Amino acid sequence: MNNVELHEAVREKSDWAGFAAKLNTAMTDEYRLEGVSVVVREMTPQEEADGESDLLTFNQVRQQFEVALSPSHKFPPAWKIADRIDGFLNPDAGGDG
């Protein structure tokens, strides 16, 4: 079972909740990932200044991915984030599960 949760600053925003649900579905159904923990949050102004619309990081200590999204850009397709997570966890698989 995967765990996709929203950072407290975006928890009450329905579009963020919709993205989190789609990400969970993509990780489970399309990429067959199990036991993955992800926090979805808003990008900081510093991160946005770098010109990216999304950022994926992995915290070794917490064993948790963090997806930062820009509120001023359209959210990426959830499957693209799931694909990047899959690529990180399964680098020898050649993508797509």
| pLDDT tens digits, 34-80 | 999 999 999 999 999 998 899 999 999 999 999 999 999 999 999 99
Residue 72's Cα: distance from chain center in Å? 17
- pLDDT exceeds 80 at position 97: no
Q: Where are the domains of the chain?
A: 3-87
Quote the pLDDT of residue 94: 62
State the Cα–Cα distance between residues 75 and 41, nearest whole angstrom.
12
Instruction: Give me the pLDDT at residue 3, please.
Output: 97
Q: Give the position of tokens 């850009």.
A: 73
Say what the pLDDT of residue 93 is. Answer: 73
Q: What residues contact residue 77 under an 8 Å CB cut-off, 6+ apart? A: none
Using an 8 Å Cβ cutoff, are 40 and 19 in contact?
Answer: yes
Amino acid 92: pLDDT: 85
Q: Are 72 and 44 in contact (CB under 8 A)?
A: no
At residue 96, the pLDDT reads 53
> 10 Å Cβ neighbour count for 85?
22
User: Dihedral of CA 44/46/48/54: which sign?
Assistant: negative
User: Could you read off the pLDDT of 5-33 as tens digits, one per residue?
Assistant: 999 999 999 999 999 999 999 999 999 99
